[in-house]
Amino acid sequence: MRAVHELSICTSLARIVEAHADGRVVEVVHLEVGYLRQVIPATLRYSWEIVVLDTPLAGSVLDINHIPAVLHCRDCDARTVIEVPVFRCGCGSVAVDVVGGEELLVTSLDLAGPRTLAPPRS
């Protein structure tokens, strides 16, 4: 099933985010996802809702920045953004290194405003 990939990604993301949030309320999780991860953003957002249901992260949403796949050509030094996984430079060379598209990073978290744990006494 296609969504299993996204679900397993969300399960590991949730662990990372919970560790960073350290008990604080998370509103938005900003992510960079490389094109070559073959993740469908809508499916990832939906999987996140399922994974965080009944956890401290429930109600948080993913903000996904899709990073294009980029090749670097060792023959002519050009960088090419590819739309489909064809690993060939515009000059015809296949001596290319993938230099973008494999990212899966949590870049930042939006946390709810600070909560006063001990209200000041008058």
- Does the footprint of Zn ion cover residue 26 (CB under 5 A)? no
Task: Give me 43's structure tokens.
Answer: 């499916």
Describe the crossing of helices 3-21 and 41-52 by its angle, rounded to 10 degrees. Answer: 60
Which listed range, 29-37, 47-55, 73-81, 100-108, lies at the site for Zn ion (CB under 5 A)?
73-81
Work out how close the CB of 94 gets to Zn ion at its nearest, in angstroms, rounded to a whole number.
9
CB-CB contact of 26 with 60 (8 Å) = yes
Q: Which stretch binds Zn ion (CB under 5 A): 21-29, 47-55, 69-77, 102-110?
A: 69-77
Closer to Zn ion at the Cβ: 23 or 92?
92
Order of strands across the sheet that contains 69-73: 79-82, 69-73, 96-100
Nearer to Zn ion, 1 or 84 (CB): 84
Question: 28-53: string of b/e by CB count within 10 Å (b at 16+)?
Answer: ebebebbbbbebeeebbebbbeebbe
Give the pair of three-digit tokens for residue 87: 């690993």
Judged by CB under 5 A, the stretch of 16-24, 30-38, 50-58, 87-95 that binds Zn ion is: 87-95
Q: Which of 75, 97, 102, 110 binds Zn ion (CB under 5 A)?
A: 75
CB of 98 to Zn ion, least distance (A): 14
Contacting residues toward Zn ion, per CB under 5 A? 73, 75-76, 78, 89, 91, 93
